[in-house]
Amino acid sequence: MKAQVLLPKVFNFPFTYNSNIEGKIGNLVEVPFGSKKEIGVIWKNNYSEPKNIKIKEISKKTEYSIDKKLVDFIEWFSSYNMVPIGLVLKMVIGSTNKFIKIKDNSIVVKKTEIKNFNLNEEQLTALKFLERVNNKFDVSVLQGTTGSGKTLVYFERIKKIIEKNKQALVLLPEIFLTNDFKSRFEDFFGFEPAIWHSKITPKQKSLIWKGIINNKIKILVGARSALLLPFKKLGIIIVDEEHDASYKQDEGVIYNARDMAISRANFEGIPIHLVTSVPSIETYNNIQNKKYRHTKIFKRFDNYPLPKTKIVNLNLNKIKNKFIANETIDLVKKYLDREDQALFFINRRGFAPFLICKKCGFKHICSNCSLYLTFHKIKNKAICHHCSFEKTIKTKCKSKGSCEFIMYGPGVEKIFDEIKEIFPNKKISIFSSDYLKTKEESKNLFTNIKDNKIDILIGTQMISKGFNFPKLNCIVVIDADFSGRGYDLRTTEKNIQLYHQLSGRAGRFSSESLIIYQTLNPYDATLNELIKNRSEELLKNELLLREKNKLPPFKRLIAIIISSKDRNLSLQGAREIKVKLNQIKDLEVLGPVDSPLLKIKKNFRSRLLIKFNNQTLMQKKIKKVLNGLKISQKIKLTVDVDPINFA
């Protein structure tokens, strides 16, 4: 008997093996491949068999198998995102060490004391609304003002699902969110959740994987990749902060975890809840079209109001070589005097994003990427935020001696220095990925914030996401800029979500809180609608603009990035690809153009943008054309289905 076996490698097809075992589709088996043994999955027999090749035999069957629904989802995922099916399988089964080397130790679940939580009337209504659809596919949106207790609502929902011996998956956009989330989870459920993300150890991954496939783990909290784990009895999926752009994986296997989670729920035949304070444009459009069910919670905990807002016009508050206006300092001081915490928000890591020599005009640009290097005081080096290239800033000047660099624009470290000068007696900390490298560092920072051992926080975008800081009552946006950088069609949408999320970090347990927007554009329409808390109006307008300009969600986009060490080669390759793609009916191919980030990791990048109608699934036709191309081996193609970034 012959069997098709799919291997977790860069292949778009399974391999044929002889089989003396009684295996069925989904069984994990060990097979010889080259000189090694590999773990693969018995696949569907709808692929052509090789001719005149010696067929090897399946070595043995493992105790594990994935179900038919997941097999179908893997095939669909591969086809939709135009990625090799073997790479999708690799995301499902991961490292093969777990099948051979690691003994099956069970995960020890630590029990903790359960705290009592009572849902208010709004929360109970929302819960009942979500429960109306029990055991079938359904997309429901749980929208709530920041601090309104959305988490408690879906915790109650999960509790009832796992009581039926089913499993729940909670997706979070950032791994940094898991620590804060974990303590809330323990208070409610009385045990630790299993947590899945890229930073957990291989042994922990193996234990969780086995716990998931055996239905021993009932609740998994994870980042994007958790979506592809082989759940035995998945009963519900929650996508928290569904609007967050971090759900888009833009390296390796490129996919949008929120959209793929909806598809997985569809294949599993289970409900999925999208949780947000301001929905993404796609979700908002689906609510308007009655495709998704929708419920809202308006009241914050104990009816605390959202922060008041204040615009500080930087044109009137001239600040020489400083970034914080005197008016801002006076307002912040009032909150610090009553022992509240303050947050200064700037979405730039490091100390300064530009370094220019005042004598010869030399600029520090990455030798691998067409990007300015950011100076990081913590390392005393200039660093590229794309390829992590580092260099010392001492440079021989074309004029005479060494370069004398002026540092333009602030990053978190520069704001830290300025605040230290203004408030020398206050305890100040930076909340940025460069400062939270380890689990211990993150844990210590959260503990210090909650114990009120920190007076002032300086944070990047990371801090806007789902954290709960009881004494934080004043937020300063250093530079409220709504203009975008010209190559992101989602600038307005992202700003609406970011600043709404950010304002929700303040005043969670206080009736008097404030968010200050320092800006050079005080009359900007988006900012002024935002401070009136009219994010829905903004989304409506954004949707009208998208429809007028034939952009998503009214049209579908696929980006093709053509990269090469030779700039001319990448452009020439892009032109050749465009000629072939133009043969497909009902397809508009825009470009080629140079990428706004022209060079990354020593490769020059050209872009094509494919546009087509919403109802059509064009991926198969496009893939067929791309697979039939005869282009130089010096060119690399990257396909991004539903791009959200055009850099």
Does 310 lie in the same domain as 456? yes
Among candidate residues 423, 428, 449, 421, the one with its CA nearest the CA of residue 333? 423
Q: How far is it, in rounded angstroms, from Cα 142 to Cα 536? A: 15
Quote the CA–CA distance of 100 and 139 in Å, as a whole number: 39
Strands (E), 499-601: 514-519, 555-564, 588-600
Q: Is residue 292 part of a domain?
A: yes
Q: Rounding to the nearest 10 degrees, give the CA dihedral for residues 261, 266, 270, 273.
A: 40
Residues 459 and 528 in one domain: yes
Please give the average per-residue pLDDT across 357-368, as a whole number.
Answer: 84
The tens digit of pLDDT for each residue in 454-482 reads: 999 998 877 766 566 778 899 999 988 76
Please check whether residue 275 lies inside any domain of the structure.
yes
Q: Which CATH number is 165's domain given?
A: 3.40.50.300
Among 362, 368, 408, 405, CA closest to 388:
368
Percent of the chain with pLDDT over 90: 51
Phi, then psi, of 444 in degrees rounded to 5 = -65, -40
Domain that holds residue 376: 351-409
Q: Please state which of the ranges 61-65, 106-110, 166-170, 266-270 shows the lowest mean pLDDT.
A: 106-110
Q: Where does a domain end: 260, 281, 298? A: 298
Same domain assignment for residues 388 and 483 = no
* Whether residue 476 is found in the same domain as residue 328: yes
Residues 287 and 320 in one domain: no
Sign of CA dihedral 625, 628, 631, 635: positive
pTM metric for this prediction: 0.89
In a domain, 115, yes or no: no
Residue 178: the pLDDT is 67
Q: Among positive and negative, which fits the CA dihedral 388, 394, 397, 403?
A: positive
One domain, residues 321 and 251: no
Question: Are the C-beta atoms of 172 and 223 separated by less than 8 Å?
Answer: yes
Last residue of a domain, one of 391, 409, 427: 409
Whether residue 189 contacts residue 155, with contact meaning beta carbons closer than 8 Å, is answered with yes
CATH number, domain of 48, equals: 3.40.1440.60
Strand partners, 37: 32
Span 45-55, pLDDT tens digits: 876 766 777 88
Q: Is residue 71 part of a domain?
A: yes
Count of the separate structural domains present in the chain? 5
Q: Judge if 187 and 275 occupy the same domain.
A: yes
Range from 112-126, 164-178, 401-415, 570-584 carrying the lowest mean pLDDT: 401-415
Q: Are residues 308 and 420 in the same domain?
A: yes
CATH number at 593 reads 3.30.70.600
**Position 646 in a domain:** no
The whole-number pLDDT of residue 96 equals: 65
Percent above pLDDT 70 for the chain: 92
As a whole number, mean pLDDT of residues 336-350 equals 88
Which of 298, 332, 365 finishes a domain? 298
Are 459 and 378 contained in the same domain? no
Question: Is the Cβ–Cβ distance between 425 and 398 less than 8 Å?
Answer: no
Among residues 346, 364, 362, which one has the least CA distance to residue 354?
364
Using an 8 Å Cβ cutoff, are 6 and 43 in contact?
yes
261 and 309 share one domain:
no
Phi/psi for 202 (5° steps) reads: -55, -40
Instruction: Give the separation between CA 526 and CA 528, rounded to whole angstroms.
Output: 6
Residues 283 and 201 in one domain: yes
Residue 647 included in any domain:
no
Shared domain check, 287 and 179: yes
Nearest to 162 by CA among 269, 64, 80, 236: 236
**SS3 assignment, position 466:** coil
- Whether residue 549 is contained in a domain is answered as no
Strands 36-42 and 27-33: antiparallel
Cα dist from 582 to 13, 99, 125, 586, 588, whole Å: 27, 47, 52, 9, 7
